[in-house]
Structure 1
C-alpha cells in the first residue's frame, strides 16, 4: 500500500515520517530480494511506480542502492536495470567486552567483512575505568582501520555480559566484570573515538541470539535459545521470531538461577548459581585448579588458549579434564531441561566454549535433558553447537546497526554528487 497520504495540519512532519517509512520499505525489499527492477519493487510493496522511482533516487544518493544490469525480464520487451543493495561505503561495528577478551567485528551494509579481531584482556584484574580505556583503544583502532577503507560508520553497538539499560547505554550490573551502574555509552562518547557516530549498548547473549537467528546454525528458526558459554552463562531467547527482552530488557539471566544451594559462591554474590556449574570458570576450576580464574597474579589468556592448555593436560593423561567436562555436561543438561519446559524452543544453540567441546558435552547434556524435561518438548528440541565461535555477540551487535539503517535510511547522509 502506498503510504503517501493527504496533507493538512502538521503535514510536513507527517510527510517526512511517511517518506522515511517508504524508504525503509523499498530498501528492505531490495535487500531481501536481490537484483530486482523498479517495477518489481512497486508490485511487491504496493507503492506506485513514480513513488518508487523517487525513493530509489534518494536511496542511490545515500549510496544504499545501486543499479546493475540490464536485467532481462523475458524474451519480449526492453530490458530494465536491476537494483541491488549497495552500502559499500556504510559500515557497522559490533564490539564485545568480556572477562578475558575484547572482540570487534565490522561489516558494510552489503555484507563485506571490514574487521574481525579478538584481543586477550583480563577484566578480572582491572577496575571498570581501565577496562573501558582498553575497550576504547580497541574501538579506536578498529574505527581507524575502517576509515582507511573509505567507509563511514553508521553506528557502534557494544555487547556486555550483564544487565543493560539499553535506553541510556548504562550497564546496570555485570557481575563477572565487576561493573555496577556504569554509563558505558557516555564514557565511550567522552573518549571521542568516533565523534557523531551513535553508540548503543546491549546484553551479549541477546546479541548472540540475534546473530544465530540471522546467519548462524539456527538461521531463521523462530523459537531458539542461545547459551553464551563464557566465564559466565547468559541466555538469549528468540520467541516467535522476536527477541524476548522482558519488561526492562533483563530477560535471559539464567546463569543466576540457583541450582545448588550447597554450591560455590557466584560473582553475583549468591550461592549455587547455574553458571558456577557450567561457566568456563567452573570448568577450569575443576580441571586445572592451580590455573583457576582469580588464583595467582592476573594472566591474560584467551578462552581458546585455556581450552588448548586443558587439551594438553588431557593428552598427558590427566583424568580431571574429562571428569570436569562430563560434570559440566550434566549440569548443562539440568539447566537446559528447565529452559525447554519454560520456552519450548526448537533449538538450543551452544556458543563460546560449549561449542568448542560440543562433541563431548552435548551427549551428556542431551541425556539429562531427555530425563528432566517434558518428553514431547524434548523430542522436538535439539542441542547444537554454534559455528560463530566467540564472535557471535559482536556479529549480532553489528547487525543491530545494520537493522537501524534499514529501518531509517535517512540516518545515512546524502552524498555530494
Structure 2
C-alpha cells in the first residue's frame, strides 16, 4: 500500500523505503540551509512543506551528525522566537584533486565551502607513466590529509578530475590523449597507493568538474550553461537545469574533439581538424611565438606564466599577439555557435586559459556566435568569463566531494546525542 508522508512517496511496509524517505528529507533540509540561509525550525517547516515535528526530528539528527548548529534567536518572530538553525562548516570535509598535462593539485573544503587546504605541483605528466603521476598526486594527498588532521578531521569523500574520457562507474580513464593514457584504472590505482582509504573516492572528467565550479547553487543565471575549459586541450561541461549532464555513459562534453577543419592539423587524439587544434593553448603559443627560441616555448615557464606573457604582449599592443588572439577568438566563436544551435544554453563560460585571455577574444567570440546561430539574438546565449583560471577543475572536484554529504547526510556518523527541539 502506497502512501505519501511530508511530500515523499513511500510504502507502508518497507523499512528501507522509510530510510530512503528520511535520507531524502535530511538532504532537502540541509540543501535548503545552504542555498537559502539559516532559519528557525518553524520557518523551515513552512518553507519545505513538512510538519513541525518532522523538521524538529530531522534537525535533531543533523545536530547529532554535527552538520548543523543552533545559532541566535530568530528576529522579528511573533510570539516566542525560535532558534536559528545553520550549516556547521566543520561538520564535514571534501577533498578535490586534478591531474592535468602540466600539474597536479588538491583542494579541501568544509561543509560551508570554505577552503581549508590548497596544494599544487608542476609536473610534466606527459613524460611519466600513470603510476608515476599518481605517486606525485598521492604526495599532495598526504599533505592535504595532514592539513585536515590538524583540524581533527578526515574527508568524507575525494573526487579526482582528469583531462580525458572517464568511465565514472569503473573509475577508469578510457582515453586521455594529451596525457598519453588509455584504459588506466585510476581509482583502483589511487586506492592501492592510499592504502584503501575509508572515504569515498571517485574519478571524473576535469571539464565536467570545471562546469560544476561555475554552477553556483541557487543562481538562476547559472542553471543552463556550457563551460569551455581550455588548457593544452579543450574540454567541456554541460549544466542542465542546475545539474551536471554527463550523458548516457558519462562521456558528454568532449567539445574539443568536434571536427571543425577537415584540412587542419592533426590532433593528439589521432584525428585531423578537432576544435582543440585551433583553440588550444599550444596552438595559440605557436601563433604568438616568434621562433623556437621564444620564451613561450621554454620548459621552465609553466602554463600560467605563458598565458601571462601572452597577455603582457597583448597589453603592449604587439601586433603578432593580437592577430593570433583574434584568430583563436573567431575559432572559439565558430564552435560556440555550433553548440548553441544544438543546445541553446543560457550562458557559455570561458574557463581555464580561455577565461584568462577572455578580455582579448570575447568580442570575436560574440561576433561569430551572432553570425553562426540561426535563432535571433544568438538564441539568448551570452558569453561569460570564469574568474577561476586554471583552478576551475579542482574547485569543482572539491565541490562535488562535499556535495555527497548534501546528497546523503547519513554518510557522516552520529557523534552527539541531543534532545528533541520543538521550536
TM-score, normalised to structure 2, is: 0.90
- Equivalent residue for 1:167, pick from 169, 183, 196: 169
Q: 1:249 to 1:157 in 2, by over 3 A?
A: same
- Asked if the contact 1:160–1:204 (Cα under 8 Å) also holds between the matched residues in 2, the reply is yes
Unaligned runs of 5+ in 2: 418-423
Shift of 1:33: 2.9
- Asked if the contact 1:228–1:350 (Cα under 8 Å) also holds between the matched residues in 2, the reply is yes
- Asked if the contact 2:92–2:402 (Cα under 8 Å) also holds between the matched residues in 1, the reply is no
Q: Secondary structure at the match of 1:351?
A: strand
Residues 1:50 and 2:53 aligned together: yes
Q: How does 1:107-126 map to 2 (within 5 A)?
A: 107-126=109-128
Shift of 1:54: 2.0
Residues 1:367 and 2:378 aligned together: no
Q: 1:403 to 1:292 in 2, by over 3 A?
A: farther
Q: Distance in 2 between matches of 1:100 and 1:120?
A: 6
- Asked if the contact 2:105–2:121 (Cα under 8 Å) also holds between the matched residues in 1, the reply is yes
Q: How does 1:8-407 map to 2 (within 5 A)?
A: 8=13, 11-74=14-77, 76-192=78-194, 195-214=197-216, 220-288=221-289, 290=292, 299=299, 301-311=301-311, 319-376=319-376, 378=378, 380-407=380-407
Shift of 1:234: 0.7
Shift of 1:303: 1.6
Q: Distance in 2 between matches of 1:16 and 1:208?
A: 33
Shift of 1:101: 1.6
| Larger CA deviation: 266-275 vs 186-195 | 186-195
- Asked if the contact 1:333–1:367 (Cα under 8 Å) also holds between the matched residues in 2, the reply is yes
Q: Distance in 2 between matches of 1:176 and 1:95?
A: 18
Q: 1:353 to 1:279 in 2, by over 3 A?
A: same
The one-character-per-residue Cα deviations of 1:266-309 (angstroms, maximum 9, x if unpaired) are: 1101111110100011111222252699978xx35432111233
Q: Secondary structure at the match of 1:246?
A: coil
TM-score, normalised to structure 1, is: 0.91
Q: Distance in 2 between matches of 1:311 and 1:6?
A: 61
- Asked if the contact 2:347–2:382 (Cα under 8 Å) also holds between the matched residues in 1, the reply is yes
The one-character-per-residue Cα deviations of 1:90-135 (angstroms, maximum 9, x if unpaired) are: 1111111111122322210012211233322211222222111111
Q: Let me know the Cα RMSD of the aligned residues.
A: 2.5
Q: Distance in 1 between matches of 2:32 and 2:367?
A: 44
Q: 1:293 to 1:177 in 2, by over 3 A?
A: farther
Q: Distance in 2 between matches of 1:89 and 1:283?
A: 45
Q: Secondary structure at the match of 1:305?
A: helix
- Asked if the contact 1:207–1:397 (Cα under 8 Å) also holds between the matched residues in 2, the reply is yes
Shift of 1:31: 2.5
Unaligned runs of 5+ in 1: none
- Asked if the contact 1:284–1:292 (Cα under 8 Å) also holds between the matched residues in 2, the reply is no
- Asked if the contact 2:224–2:346 (Cα under 8 Å) also holds between the matched residues in 1, the reply is yes
